[in-house]
């Protein structure tokens, strides 16, 4: 079974509380999401593989560590996942970006795929699939299945707010994928929105309420 990491650093909790408030503007919501994503990225990348390199300081030659392997890949689930890319890029500027377009059908709440463009050689890369909301888990489960179909093997999922239902669904479907979230909320409501949550993340990022 995968591990659920709740990254509840005080600064992240403070910023997330501001995001949850209904009167927070789109501009502030986007900026806060960006800041939290960068803070979370620090933990999500904690176990990246290292390689030893020999360098020369002004004092002597020495063996030190650098990140090993091919550039990692950030995979935002469109639309709302886009809001987390910049924060990750600030910590890992060389990361490549793959996009997966999914939206939840308003009646069935099931994800509908409309776009998929991923970098090559996925099997050799670390991948972080990102979406602010893990509600029923349908979108994350399908996005990660697509990444695996294209060869992805070392995958993590990073979100902002998770519901217990989504965590369960994702852990059952992809037991090899660790989940990183800033908060584990109470439950889903009858419309499959997270309670207390923060509303529709995509609408709040892009101002489409």
- Catalogue the active-site residues: 104, 108, 200, 203
When asked if residue 197 is in the footprint of ligand PRP (CB under 6 A), the reply is no
CB of 49 closer than 8 Å to CB of 76: no
* Residue selected from 36, 41, 78, 201 as contacting ligand URA according to rule CB under 6 A: 201
When asked if residue 171 is in the footprint of ligand PRP (CB under 6 A), the reply is no
Point out which residues pair with 133 in neighbouring strands.
161
Contacts of 137 (CB under 8 A, 6+ apart): 165, 166, 167, 168, 169, 170, 173
Of 8-16, 46-54, 69-77, 193-201: span binding ligand URA (CB under 6 A): 193-201
When asked if residue 88 is in the footprint of ligand URA (CB under 6 A), the reply is no
Of 46-54, 60-68, 145-153, 190-198: span binding ligand URA (CB under 6 A): 190-198
CB of 143 closer than 8 Å to CB of 102: yes
In which element (H, E) is residue 106 found? none
Q: Which does 194 bind (CB under 5 to 8 A by kind): ligand PRP, ligand URA, none?
A: ligand URA
When the beta carbons of 152 and 197 are compared against ligand URA, the nearer one is: 197
Cα–Cα distances (Å) from 101 to 73, 76, 104, 112, 139, in that order, read: 16, 9, 10, 8, 10
| Cα–Cα distance for residue pair 203/74, rounded to 1 Å | 22
Task: Say how many C-beta atoms besides its own lie within 10 A of residue 190's C-beta.
Answer: 5
Residue 127: left (phi > 0), alpha (psi -120 to 50), or beta?
beta
* Residue selected from 34, 126, 131, 185 as contacting ligand PRP according to rule CB under 6 A: 131
* Residue selected from 36, 95, 122, 135 as contacting ligand PRP according to rule CB under 6 A: 135
When asked if residue 169 is in the footprint of ligand URA (CB under 6 A), the reply is no
| Cα–Cα distance for residue pair 171/168, rounded to 1 Å | 5
When asked if residue 104 is in the footprint of ligand PRP (CB under 6 A), the reply is yes
Angle at 142 between CA 137 and CA 146, to 5 degrees: 150
DSSP 3-state of 157: strand
Q: At closest approach, how far in Å is the CB of 147 from ligand URA?
A: 20
Of 24-32, 34-42, 177-185, 194-202: span binding ligand PRP (CB under 6 A): 194-202
Per-position x/- string for 122-151, each x denoting binding to ligand URA as judged by CB under 6 A, each - no binding: -----------x-x----------------
Residues that bind ligand URA (CB under 6 A): 133, 135, 193-194, 197, 200-202
């Amino acid at each position: 079974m995968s591990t659920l990491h709740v990254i509840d650093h005080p600064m992240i909790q403070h910023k997330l509380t501001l995001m949850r408030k209904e009167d927070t503007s789109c501009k502030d919501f986007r900026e806060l999401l960006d800041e939290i994503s960068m803070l979370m990225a620090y933990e999500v990348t904690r176990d990246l593989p290292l390689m030893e390199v020999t360098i020369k300081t002004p004092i002597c030659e020495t063996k030190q560590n650098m990140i090993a392997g091919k550039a990692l890949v950030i995979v935002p689930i469109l639309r709302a996942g886009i809001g987390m890319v910049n924060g990750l890029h600030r910590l890992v500027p060389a990361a490549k970006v793959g996009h997966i377009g999914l939206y939840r059908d308003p009646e069935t709440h099931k994800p509908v795929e409309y776009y998929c463009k991923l970098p090559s050689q996925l099997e050799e890369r670390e991948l972080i699939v990102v979406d602010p909301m893990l509600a029923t888990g349908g979108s994350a489960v399908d996005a990660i299945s697509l990444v695996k179909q294209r060869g992805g093997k070392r995958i993590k999922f990073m979100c902002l707010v998770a519901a217990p239902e989504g965590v369960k669904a994702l852990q059952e479907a992809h037991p090899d994928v660790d989940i990183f979230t800033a908060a584990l909320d109470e439950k889903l409501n009858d419309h499959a929105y997270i309670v207390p949550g923060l509303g529709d993340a995509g609408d709040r990022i892009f101002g489409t309420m």
